[in-house]
Amino acid sequence: MRCALLLALLLPALLLTPDASPAEEVPGILRPVIIGGDRDYPPYEFLDKDGLPAGFNVDISRAVAEAMGLKVEFRLGTWSDMRTGLMEGTIHILQGMSYSEERSQQVDFAPHTIVNHAIFGRRGFAPVATLDDLAGKQVIMHRGGIMHDTLAGKGFGKDLILTDTPADGLRLLASGQGDYAVVAMLPGIYIIRENKLDNIQTVARTVFTVRYGYAVKKGNEALLARFSEGLAILRETGRYQAIHDKWLGVLEARRMPWETVGVAVAAVVTPLLLLLIGSMVWTRSLRRQVAQRTESLSMALEELSRNQRQLVQADKMAALGILVSGVAHEINNPNGLILLNIPILRKAQADAGRLLDERYEVEGEFTLGGIPYSRMRQELPRMLEEMQEGALRIKRIVNDLKDFARMEEDAGRSLIDVNDASAKAVRLVEPTIRKCTEHFSTCYEPDLPLVWGHSQRIEQVIVNLVLNACQALPDRSRGIEIFTRHDAAAGKVILCVRDQGVGILPEHLPHLTDPFFTTKRETGGTGLGLSVSAGILKEYGGMLTFESLPGHGATACIELPAAVSDEAGEHTGSAA
């Protein structure tokens, strides 16, 4: 069994071509992802007093690496050096880069937050309100930043005083040099507070707003997709918000006095500590005896469980390999931008609507975007609402995919609806289905009895069968059909996937569920999909059967025993 497991783990590496080194193709697995950042851009990213990477971006990157199983290495330096390193390939990904149209020509972005920039000046200087008011002034900013790009583009280049870091720039301003400094608002407030630069104040807030997040060099979309998926997981689990509150919320929140914290902690911890000591004394002797008798059994069960989860997960990843790059990059990133921008557009539309209404009352009818304003004032909010609803629907579909791909720690049994499981599985592979065929249909028998199983694992089996059917089609004119039925005489619920593909050779039919048997090894097949699927169905008392006529398609059927009425009623009652 260990040999089989080792072969399953090594097989994807063996299938790579001689020129495709896994360490070069998959940074983060066999070699670390080099993450670049600014060494002095607090609270987003900086080197702490011990010279170690710290800040909001660093904690987010560590959490993403943990969620996605990546190895990472941080390199923080001057921002201009980091940008050069990204383009030269010594840095794989920048963890904190502001988006602009010009930069998007060279890099791909996965923004996840908003950064507002402000103008800072010495106390007593004449106030300014916008970036344009800085014309002719000596303006300090850090080299290679988004504001450097922006003001240089406005023709302010000769009046710019460039520093390696925002902190250097604010210290230069505090020393009496330059007229103003343009720095991101939160880093500016943080640097002024930590360095006690009391002669500097915020002159104008939110003069420039940008999207901020990860960036990779063009052509490295796969790595960016993995970080985007990790960000989505952090948002769903609440870790992103916790890290945000730790680093960014602290600039606005009032700190609780240490004395109050100490009293509160002591009041809670003391009784818990006494209870813990008593419990440890009481259980220590029992633990010693139980540990001696169960050590060997626990190790065997743990190894068996770990091997089974790894095998199931390996098959999941093989099935999801077709989907990950498309869903993670082509859906998550642009959909995230849509969800981020629509609320801003709705606010802008509401503000602009008041001005347009005033014009309408004064001037009468006029056109907006080629449509009469009296109609557009009704249609525009509805269109924005429909766009947001569509983006949220995309997000729900991607969440279904993440739930499907997540490692199952507890695969217990419950009563499930095979029709519902099939619908979820089809939703997961819908992009692949549309790509492979123009003729896809489902026919679900109503009032189908429930079966015992685990919803995600049954969905996994259905996904495997549908993907196999897609791969069997020679062109998009051939079709795929999924149908369910209840065999009352045999007490079985049956789901079949029928394709009009090339069919299966008779000599291959008996071996389809054998481990590592595959007819698609040259395209990356592992031979684990149908073997694992058959094992899942066997665990729930079911089976997997195949029928095929070469050249005329194939039919794969899942058969599961229907739960009898007493069992279903008892389960429902106990759950209530």
- Measure the CA–CA gap between 516 and 518, rounded to whole angstroms: 6
pLDDT in tens, 389-437: 778 767 766 665 555 555 454 456 789 999 999 999 998 889 889 999 9
* Residue of 74, 72, 94 lying closest to 83 (CA atoms): 94
**Confidence (pLDDT) at 105:** 93
Count CB neighbours of 455 within 10 A. Answer: 18
Residues 344, 346, 349: CA angle, nearest 5 degrees: 110
| Pairwise CA distance, residues 11 & 13, whole Å | 5
Grouping H, G, I as helix, E, B as strand and the rest as coil, residue 142 is strand
- The CATH T-level fold of domain 22-111+214-251 is D-Maltodextrin-Binding Protein; domain 2 (3.40.190)
Domain boundaries in the chain?
22-111+214-251, 112-212, 295-405, 414-575
Chain mean position to CA 28: 16
Q: What is the DSSP letter of 569?
A: H
Both tokens of residue 374? 């009296």
Q: What is the pLDDT of residue 362?
A: 87
Instruction: Read off the tokens for 26.
Output: 């998959």
Beta carbons within 10 angstroms of residue 277's beta carbon: 10
| Residue 249 CB neighbour total at 10 angstroms | 12
The CA distance from 458 to 231, in Å, is 28
Residues of the chain with pLDDT under 70: 1-30, 250-264, 296, 300, 303, 305-330, 393, 396-412, 516, 520-528, 565-576
Are 22-111+214-251 and 112-212 the same fold in CATH?
yes
- What is the pTM (predicted TM-score) of this model? 0.42
The per-residue pLDDT for 233 is: 93
Model pLDDT, residue 379: 85
Compute the distance between CA of residue 576 and CA of residue 569 in angstroms, rounded to an integer. 11
Residue-wise pLDDT for 526-566, tens only, equals 566 788 888 889 888 999 999 988 888 999 999 999 988 65
Residue with tokens 């049954």: 458
pLDDT score recorded for residue 363: 86
Overall fold of domain 414-575: Heat Shock Protein 90 (3.30.565)
Q: Report CA-CA distances (Å) from 374 to 249, 378, 381.
A: 43, 7, 13
CATH level 3 topology of 112-212: D-Maltodextrin-Binding Protein; domain 2 (3.40.190)
Round to whole Å and give the CA distance between 417 and 453.
Answer: 9
Q: What is the pLDDT of residue 326?
A: 55
C-alpha span between 571 and 568 (Å, rounded)? 5
Q: Work out the number of other CB atoms within 10 angstroms of the CB of residue 192.
A: 22
Which pLDDT belongs to residue 311? Answer: 65
| Cα–Cα distance measured from residue 512 to residue 127, given in angstroms and rounded to the nearest whole number | 77
- Residue among 512, 476, 483 at smallest CA distance from 497: 483
Q: What is the pLDDT of residue 13?
A: 40
